[in-house]
Structure 1
């Protein structure tokens, strides 16, 4: 008989000792997930702040997986797999940018009502966020000072600092294809290089290198979304707390503005002037 409707199961086999009633709850650890929010003030907006930042951290982890996967694929000269990982990462980045919508309309009065309970806590201290920055090539060894009392986080960040970045591996692909790419220090922040820009100019103007041009565009899609994230962060803070110093000791707006104005993969932007 066609068109028959099947209702979902309402009883389940499995381990009931876990204290959860459904396979879904056990699979996603639902009870643990909903027990992680602990506001320290009576201000309702603090709960929104906690949930949003926790969601961001989970998305950081997902993005880290995609970017490390893309880096490994580039190292293996598998541009198709690298492009797929970057594309999946673009969707994660889009959700991350949109997540600021949950915080952007918080009034200064609402934020000030719970800001004292944050103490020195700041998103800048997120080790997963810093891993993403290091992966992009935005590197600074002095930032590891924050984790000197957290050996696991310190070791992970130290290892990342000594590992070629996502962009380094993309440039290595260009080098293996015969383009002239200078070798720079792995642990240093990537700065604009005229020789790298010249290599990308060749990529974009030589039809035989069309696959590398597609890689360049996928990387630029990633870079543009990083800029969107930084700009959205800046505008959200500007609306919510104005020019006050950040909770983590930064200069607040001016520090965020500097970050928002800094291009990721700079040669992919500057080469546009010559195309």
Structure 2
């Protein structure tokens, strides 16, 4: 059979795919894979340092997406919109699941593996992650001391400072309760945003009204349950972080000057949306 008699490929044949990218974006061009891979620069020859960097790179990308979705949801909530933010918060929950699963990959690294390169990154620590800190601030876990590691980088420090002093996603949910005529105290609505939330009995009673009359307050009820999904997954991420650290370095001091597992264990006690947890007891 001559070349000109060769049958044309079928519609599912790979030959029909576009193959000339001299004048258009390819997959690698669009995703800037060269730049992405160039950022993967282990300092030592230790085999598992590649794993360590990859897991943290991927985690930072998911954190950036979570921040973007949280901000989008908060913008809509601030405008009194309750339905569309549920999609963004659902995406946050799914991204959190990916973050939590990343620890399972890192757990394949043994203590001996880790010690082969631990010395190389000095005082660098996930404690210094601006992406993680922004997630915490947007969810309401606030401590001004957490800004200090970023003072040398105004591009990181200034957005965090703004978030520290602004309402959290839960504060915006409480504003919606008040807008619907539910009794939320003025001192709660105008609270010092730099402080962590504490359980307020009047706020709890407002949520109890929502949970006891879901037909009337269905949108607020859905929002509350979605926020609880977010905090539930946040707790799971923290717990997996703790167990990963414990099985890797035990109770040695962590990098960056923290107490390591002790610090992480204490952080597990943080409650972001206290009334949404307590409402279950009171129903």
SS at match of 1:155: helix
> What are the within-5 Å matches in structure 2 for residues 8-157 of structure 1?
8-14=17-23, 23-157=26-160
* Aligned counterparts of 1:208 and 1:117: Cα–Cα separation in 2: 58
With normalisation by structure 2, the TM-score equals 0.91
SS at match of 2:216: helix
How far the C-alpha of 1:34 sits from its partner, in A, is 0.8
How far the C-alpha of 1:102 sits from its partner, in A, is 1.3
How far the C-alpha of 1:187 sits from its partner, in A, is 1.9
* Aligned counterparts of 2:53 and 2:228: Cα–Cα separation in 1: 31
* Aligned counterparts of 1:272 and 1:132: Cα–Cα separation in 2: 25
* Aligned counterparts of 1:222 and 1:165: Cα–Cα separation in 2: 13
Residue of structure 2 in register with 1:228 after alignment: 236
* Aligned counterparts of 1:14 and 1:196: Cα–Cα separation in 2: 59
Answering whether residue 12 of structure 2 is matched by residue 5 of structure 1, we say yes
Residue of structure 2 in register with 1:256 after alignment: 264
1:195 to 199, 202, 206: 202
2:83–2:219: 8 Å Cα contact kept in structure 1? no
Q: Which runs of 4+ in 1 moved over 3 A?
A: none
User: Which consecutive residues of structure 1, in runs of 5 or more, have no partner in the other structure?
Assistant: 16-21
1:105–1:240: 8 Å Cα contact kept in structure 2? no
Aligned residues: 267
1:185 to 187, 192, 204: 192
* Aligned counterparts of 2:270 and 2:146: Cα–Cα separation in 1: 18
Residue of structure 2 in register with 1:19 after alignment: none
- Specify the structure having the higher radius of gyration (Cα): 2
SS at match of 1:80: coil
How far the C-alpha of 1:71 sits from its partner, in A, is 0.6
User: Which consecutive residues of structure 2, in runs of 5 or more, have no partner in the other structure?
Assistant: 1-9
Q: Please give the per-residue CA displacement for 1:121-152, whole angstroms capped at 9, x wherever unaligned.
A: 00010111111100000011122122222111
* Aligned counterparts of 1:27 and 1:136: Cα–Cα separation in 2: 32
1:246–1:252: 8 Å Cα contact kept in structure 2? yes
* Aligned counterparts of 1:149 and 1:4: Cα–Cα separation in 2: 57
How far the C-alpha of 1:10 sits from its partner, in A, is 2.0
* Aligned counterparts of 1:70 and 1:110: Cα–Cα separation in 2: 41
